[in-house]
Chain A
Amino acid sequence: MKEELQKRIVKGPGGVDIEVEPLRDYYCEAPPTVMPAAYSKIVEDLFNWARSESIWILGFGTGCGAIEMRPLMTPRFDAYRYGIQWRPTPRQANLFVISGYLSVKTLKRAIRSYEQMQNPKYVVGLGSCTINGGMYWDSYNTIKRLDDYLPVDLYITGCMPRPEALLQGFMDLKKLIRAGNAEGANQYAENFKWYKDNQKKVIKDWDMPDYSW
């Protein structure tokens, strides 16, 4: 573990010794919980409709596929007209597009960002690499199956998929959401241990809290 995450003793005012255990003191340790849907089906349907029509993507390009997402904002594709926009902070985003190969190092960041998004949240895997490793199938440093680590709602195939394919993927995602089938966040909370084990298996220097709130 990194040095700054190890326990240390700090001198407080008046000379008292204060023990700081960073992972405990700095981070919330609560595990994620399954969040129930709204009590009434009508409300939940309304919500799902709104969620599907207002997809906010986390602006985090994890791999080469990120380059294919830029054209979506251009006049040619104009994803905005479908209620899709990019947010710079995971707190406000509800869709995480893993755009291409994911090295272990980036996986760590992706997990952290995913966990910082709020329930309900969706993951779309972009390109072959997220599905089975793609051309990096034999790399020592790139994961092969994204769904081992994060609950993926939808894969978009291709290497790379064209923006049109992305748009199509988003349309499919909308359908999933509207049907109430995009419950990745709850799935993640339910199988939290499984996901964590998978994650920790490849991330050898796990130096973050189990769930990054």
Chain B
Amino acid sequence: MEYIALTCGFLLILIGIYGALTQSNILRMIVAFTLANTGVNLVIVGIGYINGRTAPILDTAVPVAEAATRIIDPLPQALVLTAIVIGVGITALMLAYAYKLFTLKGSLDITAIKELKW
């Protein structure tokens, strides 16, 4: 099960990065990065998953005393939340860039942004 998640995650990362590197439209690149981010998140969660255990929610279903043996590693889940937040932040920023670039240049083609070089 976790291998499926991990494999999917890595696949998503690769697809994402591939997309980001091959698509010249900025919006598509952003989407590709979102895809890759999702993949990373999936990998994180996938790493934390332990077969046969339950979600790390300490409520009546999982008493505190048994938590250590019954729940999966809670840390990656915490991490993934942060990662998602940050990912959203960066995606938002990139979109803002896309917007500004479009208003200033009237194009979303990344290959057109080459004024600075060498």
Do A and B touch directly, given a CB cutoff of 8 Å in the complex? no
A interface residues with partner B (beta carbon < 8 Å): none
B interface residues with partner A (beta carbon < 8 Å): none
